[in-house]
Amino acid sequence: MAPKTKVAALPSTMKELKDTLWKAADKLRGSMDASQYKDVILGLVFLKYVSDAFDERREQIRTELEADGLNEDQIGQLIDDVDEYTGRGVFWVGARARWTYLAENAKGLPAAPGEAPKSIGLLIDEAMDLLSADNAALAGSLPRIYNRDGVDQRRLGELLDLLNSARFTGHGATKARDILGEVYEYFLEKFAAAEGKRGGEFYTPAGVVRVLVEVLEPTHGRVYDPCCGSGGMFVQTEKFLESHQKEGSNISVYGQEMNERTWRMAKMNLAIHGLNGNLASRWGDTFARDQHPELQADYVLANPPFNIKDWARSESDPRWKYGVPPAGNANYAWIQHIISKLAPGGSAGVVMANGSMSSNSSGEGEIRAQLVEADLVSCMIALPTQLFRSTGIPVCTWFFAKDKSAGEHGSIDRTGQVLFIDASNLGHMIDRAERALSDDDIAKIAGTYHAWRGTPSALDDAPSYSDQLGFAYSASLADVKAAEYALTPGRYVGAVDVEDDGEPIEEKILRLRTELFAQFEGSERLADVVRDQLGRVYV
């Protein structure tokens, strides 16, 4: 009797699963840089998920057919009905694209008669081709990079062995897609941190995205992101819908991304989350070639790259309705592009560098004044520093609305008004370099906006809106004009009064000055003692 093969224990918790997968990433860390192994790992994780989900569905079909009394021959004729998989949102996986086949050949295939040997990298590339051919939603999105010279084939085979211990199914009621979605986002975050500044090109911190989503509440219609990165805005929108017991099919996703590798990541990310997004047939520059020229979106969510100096600028572009953006900074080009995409009742949330709120250089002040006078700006939020590991630039969020009257988006008419929120003191440090917003922080920001707007989500369980000194202020357009159209929330919300301790200010200044001088004298005496002791040491 053959000895039993020892099977590694499967990860039983999400943390164990993430740790297993990150350990897998370390297998290739020494042989390539972060940007390369990111693509290798994410592609393999996706392939593993697709295969696990396929196997799970296959077992369900077999169980159903056996319950109907069918024999093995009859089951064999029906179990490969593609519609039984795709109709349940499961990708069809051909035999040579399945994980079991790849794992069995992790060291490659020896040469068959009349054929050359195949490395594991070539087998994976062929599996990616097969998946793309069988599933239209994956066309052009899967990486074919596993048989390149820079990929260590031995380590790649070891990586497959390690991934064998990770399953994206069998975790109770949690769907495989949900598990992989969380793992995929975890990896994006880890890789963004590993790549530093470049990581910001494809990843926006989840807390920042949630601020946009929770304020806008995109529950239906067309959702657009003109610089979609890895698709985080769409994923958070889907999570928002799920948390409110609404279907992801209520929205249609549109996006564009300039970087080819990031565009592929976004395509996979949307596929994982079951979102049939239109990210165009290929990557491309939004300014040079808008790939959704006729789109009128109900919601736009975006985190454009900050302060781009070299961009495809044309002074005659019809998008510059409120003024031609300067050649040296694309911030107001992004803003006007986004506004041009809004449907008549549409709204948008955009992450921007803080300088965009008050800059007057190269005509930006005039453009901002035109936006305010057109009554397009609905809310400005100053966010805390250090939310982005990739940059120390302080950020804010702009919110636009084509219609601020009472209606679908709220029961309070806010025509001619702008809400300012200073959230710069919120958040907590998660390490020495990065701050994060808590659920309560996000709820406070979004709740204040919805109370101001009178949206249904705020009516039942939140007080009516009132200005909060140091945090929120509802300004009229006349107020903004008086501030020369600067939109920095700190100018409007005021400062919280410092509690009066009863000590007259003149006496407090005198006391503090006396204490400071006494500390100076003490410091000088201590320095003399130290110098004296050091002198004795070297005598």
User: What is residue 523's predicted lDDT score, i.e. its pLDDT?
Assistant: 79
Task: Check whether residue 78 and residue 207 sit in a common domain.
Answer: no
User: What is residue 368's predicted lDDT score, i.e. its pLDDT?
Assistant: 98
Token digits of residue 77: 């004729």
Task: Check whether residue 130 and residue 222 sit in a common domain.
Answer: no
Range among 155-164, 171-180, 198-207, 433-442 with highest mean pLDDT value: 433-442
C-alpha 188/C-alpha 276 separation (Å) is: 20
Distance, CA of 458 to chain centre: 25
Range among 431-440, 463-472, 503-512 with highest mean pLDDT value: 463-472
Q: Look at residue 190 and tell me if it is in a domain.
A: no
User: What is residue 1's predicted lDDT score, i.e. its pLDDT?
Assistant: 41
- The predicted model gives 55-77 an average pLDDT of 92
Q: Inform me whether the pLDDT recorded for 196 exceeds 60.
A: no
Please list, residue by residue across 369-384, b when 16 or more beta carbons sit within 10 angstroms of its beta carbon and e when fewer do: bebbeebbbbbbbbbb
Q: Look at residue 403 and tell me if it is in a domain.
A: yes
210 vs 504, residue with greater confidence: 210
Task: Check whether residue 336 and residue 426 sit in a common domain.
Answer: yes
Mind giving me the DSSP string for 211-224? HHHHHH---SEEEE
Is the distance from CB of 211 to CB of 446 less than 8 angstroms?
yes
Listed range (20-34, 90-104, 439-453, 504-518) with the worst mean pLDDT: 20-34
User: What is residue 10's predicted lDDT score, i.e. its pLDDT?
Assistant: 46
Tell me the per-residue pLDDT of 276-306, one tens digit each, with 9 for 90 and over. Answer: 789 998 999 999 999 999 999 999 999 999 8
Is the distance from CB of 351 to CB of 204 less than 8 angstroms?
yes
C-alpha 125/C-alpha 142 separation (Å) is: 9
Task: Check whether residue 157 and residue 262 sit in a common domain.
Answer: no
How many separate domains does the chain show? 2
User: What is residue 31's predicted lDDT score, i.e. its pLDDT?
Assistant: 64
Q: Look at residue 519 and tell me if it is in a domain.
A: no
Task: Check whether residue 135 and residue 261 sit in a common domain.
Answer: no
For residue 169, how many C-alpha atoms fall within 13 Å in the half-sphere facing its CB? 14
Compute φ and ψ for 195, nearest 5 degrees.
-90, -5
Q: Is 482 exposed, middle or buried (0-12, 13-18, 19+ CB in 10 A)?
A: exposed
Task: Check whether residue 142 and residue 272 sit in a common domain.
Answer: no
Q: Which of 462, 477, 493 is a domain's end point?
A: 493
Task: Check whether residue 386 and residue 467 sit in a common domain.
Answer: yes
26 vs 333, residue with greater confidence: 333
Q: Inform me whether the pLDDT recorded for 195 exceeds 90.
A: no
Task: Check whether residue 365 and residue 438 sit in a common domain.
Answer: yes
User: What is residue 226's predicted lDDT score, i.e. its pLDDT?
Assistant: 97
CATH code for the domain of 144: 1.20.1260.30
Q: Look at residue 502 and tell me if it is in a domain.
A: no
Range among 118-122, 134-138, 531-535 with highest mean pLDDT value: 118-122
- The predicted model gives 30-42 an average pLDDT of 72
Q: Inform me whether the pLDDT recorded for 194 exceeds 70.
A: no
Mean pLDDT, the chain, whole residue set = 86
pTM: 0.80
Listed range (429-443, 476-490, 499-513, 516-530) with the worst mean pLDDT: 499-513
- The predicted model gives 116-120 an average pLDDT of 92
User: What is residue 497's predicted lDDT score, i.e. its pLDDT?
Assistant: 60
Q: Look at residue 233 and tell me if it is in a domain.
A: yes
Q: Look at residue 514 and tell me if it is in a domain.
A: no
Range among 58-62, 151-155, 160-164, 332-336 with highest mean pLDDT value: 332-336
Of 200, 214, 473, 216, which is closest to residue 338 (Cα–Cα)?
Answer: 216
Listed range (39-43, 394-398, 414-418) with the worst mean pLDDT: 39-43
Tell me the per-residue pLDDT of 10-19, one tens digit each, with 9 for 90 and over. Answer: 455 777 777 7
Task: Check whether residue 278 and residue 375 sit in a common domain.
Answer: yes
CATH code for the domain of 473: 3.40.50.150
Helices 176-195 and 34-67: angle between axes, nearest 10 degrees: 180
Q: Look at residue 294 and tell me if it is in a domain.
A: yes
C-alpha 372/C-alpha 301 separation (Å) is: 20
| Structural domain harbouring 84 | 14-175
Of 143, 116, 118, which is closest to residue 129 (Cα–Cα)?
Answer: 143
Tell me the per-residue pLDDT of 350-392, one tens digit each, with 9 for 90 and over. Answer: 999 999 999 999 999 999 999 999 999 999 999 999 888 767 7
Compute φ and ψ for 302, nearest 5 degrees.
-155, 150
Tell me the per-residue pLDDT of 244-279, one tens digit each, with 9 for 90 and over. Answer: 888 777 899 999 999 888 898 888 888 878 787 899
Q: How confident is the model at residue 490 (pLDDT cuts 50, 70, 90)?
A: very high
Q: How confident is the model at residue 321 (pLDDT cuts 50, 70, 90)?
A: very high
Compute φ and ψ for 344, nearest 5 degrees.
-50, -35
What letter does residue 304 receive in the DSSP assignment?
Answer: P
Q: What percent of the chain has pLDDT over 70?
A: 87
C-alpha 356/C-alpha 162 separation (Å) is: 47
User: What is residue 3's predicted lDDT score, i.e. its pLDDT?
Assistant: 40
Listed range (37-51, 142-156, 169-183) with the worst mean pLDDT: 169-183
User: What is residue 530's predicted lDDT score, i.e. its pLDDT?
Assistant: 74
Task: Check whether residue 224 and residue 140 sit in a common domain.
Answer: no
392 vs 54, residue with greater confidence: 54
Q: Is 445 exposed, middle or buried (0-12, 13-18, 19+ CB in 10 A)?
A: buried
Task: Check whether residue 213 and residue 76 sit in a common domain.
Answer: no
Q: How confident is the model at residue 8 (pLDDT cuts 50, 70, 90)?
A: very low
- The predicted model gives 326-346 an average pLDDT of 97
Task: Check whether residue 235 and residue 131 sit in a common domain.
Answer: no
C-alpha 328/C-alpha 362 separation (Å) is: 9
Q: What percent of the chain has pLDDT over 90?
A: 52
C-alpha 5/C-alpha 268 separation (Å) is: 35
Q: Look at residue 507 and tell me if it is in a domain.
A: no
48 vs 187, residue with greater confidence: 48
Q: Which of 477, 493, 509 is a domain's end point?
A: 493
Q: Inform me whether the pLDDT recorded for 164 exceeds 80.
A: no
Q: How confident is the model at residue 319 (pLDDT cuts 50, 70, 90)?
A: very high
